[in-house]
Structure 1
């Protein structure tokens, strides 16, 4: 399940970059299509992430950190979504970029270096 989760995140980052570039180039309709595909990928990420967090409910001492990582992961998804929505409307998204970077770092640090799975 870990590999499926990482694959989902890699796909989400690629789709995020593609949609962002398309919105910035003024290609609204193709960007919306990529944005919708990204939203479907969110469901895949949430399912696989929820399954990974469920593995920690068996009495693991890492449960609080896994919950924080799950919340940070949802925060990343929310920041990505807000960045794309603001960009599509031509509004500044600086605060959401800052949130994205902070949440993404928390998620990466907990996911790859702190939690055992």
Structure 2
């Protein structure tokens, strides 16, 4: 019985933290930018995020799902709802740049984890 209670407590979903909500906001900013880039209405100064943004959205979504215990579908709905209001806003280049830097750092970390350093060669 105690083991069941511990397992249940470990999987109980929690509310999204401010950091998680901030991550969702950045994903939405870059998803909106990617859509505007596809439509040709994005600021020219902004980095192209059409491919990297998709990958990062998956990483952030998976991380938030794991951390919060919320179902993946609920996290996706939170992202979609945030995107609806973001698309109507004018592009904020400073905010875009901040989110692009965060995305680049997290993608670099993910790449390093996916490609570990080679094992050292033992000298004879």
Instruction: Report TM bin, short chain.
Output: 0.3 to 0.5
With CA pairs under 8 Å and 6+ residues apart, which has the higher RCO, 1 or 2?
2
Give the TM-score normalised by the residue count of structure 2. 0.38
Give the TM-score normalised by the residue count of structure 1. 0.40
Structure of larger gyration radius: 2
Q: Which has the higher helix share?
A: 1
